[in-house]
Amino acid sequence: MGIVTVPKQDRSRVTRQRLLEAAISCLAEYGWAGSTVSVVAERAGVSRGAAQHHFPTREDLFTAAVEYVAEVRSQAMRTLALRASHGTRPSPVRTRAVVRALVDLYTGPLFRAALQLWVAASNEAELCPRVIDLEARVGRETHRIAVELLGADERVPGIRETVQGLLDMARGLGLANLLTDDAARRERVVEQWAHIVDCVLKSRR
Amino acid sequence: MGIVTVPKQDRSRVTRQRLLEAAISCLAEYGWAGSTVSVVAERAGVSRGAAQHHFPTREDLFTAAVEYVAEVRSQAMRTLALRASHGTRPSPVRTRAVVRALVDLYTGPLFRAALQLWVAASNEAELCPRVIDLEARVGRETHRIAVELLGADERVPGIRETVQGLLDMARGLGLANLLTDDAARRERVVEQWAHIVDCVLKSRR
Q: What is the interface pTM, i.e. ipTM, of the complex?
A: 0.87
Mean pLDDT in residue range B57-85: 78
Residue of B nearest to A171 (CA): B172
Residue A59 domain flag: no
Residue A176 domain flag: yes
What does the buried/exposed string (b/e) look like for A61-82 if buried means 16 or more CB atoms within 10 Å of the residue's CB? bbbbbbebbbeebeebbeebbe
Q: Residue A172: list chain B partners with CB under 8 A.
A: 167-175
Contact A164 B189 (CB under 8 A): yes
A201 contacts A166 by C-beta, under 8 angstroms: no
Instruction: Indicate the pLDDT class of residue B76, thresholds 50, 70 and 90.
Output: confident
Q: Residue B31: list chain A partners with CB under 8 A.
A: 119-120, 122-123
What does the buried/exposed string (b/e) look like for B126-142 if buried means 16 or more CB atoms within 10 Å of the residue's CB? ebbebbeebbeebeeeb
Q: Residue A195: list chain B partners with CB under 8 A.
A: 158
Contact B179 A123 (CB under 8 A): no
Mean pLDDT in residue range B55-82: 80
Min Cα distance A138 → chain B (Å) is: 12
Report the C-alpha gap between A27 and A110 in whole angstroms: 9
Return per-residue pLDDT of chain A as tens, 205 residues: 456 666 778 888 999 999 999 999 998 888 888 899 999 999 999 999 999 999 998 888 988 887 787 777 778 777 877 776 666 677 898 899 999 989 988 888 888 888 998 899 998 888 899 889 888 888 898 899 899 889 999 999 999 999 999 999 999 999 999 999 999 999 999 999 999 999 999 886 6
Q: What is the pLDDT of residues B23-68, one digit of tens each?
A: 999 988 888 888 999 999 999 999 999 999 999 988 889 888 877 8
Contact B178 A116 (CB under 8 A): no
B106 contacts B89 by C-beta, under 8 angstroms: no
Torsion of the alpha carbons at A67, A73, A77 and A83, rounded to the nearest 10: 120
pLDDT exceeding 90 applies to what percent of chain B? 47
What is the overall mean pLDDT for chain B?
A: 88
Q: What is the pLDDT of residues B101-113, one digit of tens each?
A: 899 888 888 888 8
Range of the domain at B130: 59-203
pLDDT exceeding 70 applies to what percent of chain B? 94
Residue A161 domain flag: yes
Choose between B195 and A4: higher pLDDT.
B195
Contact B31 A132 (CB under 8 A): no
B58-85 and B37-44 helices, crossing angle to 10°:
50
Residue A61 domain flag: no
Residue A22 domain flag: no
Residue A20 domain flag: no
| CATH code of residue B196 | 1.10.357
**A99-102 — which CB contacts under 8 Å span 24+ positions?**
A99/A166, A99/A190, A99/A193, A99/A194, A99/A197, A100/A190, A100/A194, A101/A149, A102/A142, A102/A146, A102/A149, A102/A166, A102/A167, A102/A170
Spatial CA neighbour of A178 closest among B64, B101, B172, B140:
B172
* Contact pairs from chain A to chain B, CB under 8 Å: 127
Which of A32, A132, A196 is nearest residue B196 as measured by Cβ atoms? A196
Residue B187 domain flag: yes
Amino acid type, A174: G
Contact B169 A168 (CB under 8 A): yes
Min Cα distance A71 → chain B (Å) is: 20
Total structural domains in chain A? 1
For testing contact with chain A, the best of B159, B179, B181, B182 (most A CBs within 10 A): B179
A176 contacts B143 by C-beta, under 8 angstroms: no
Residue B42 domain flag: no
Mean pLDDT in residue range B185-196: 97
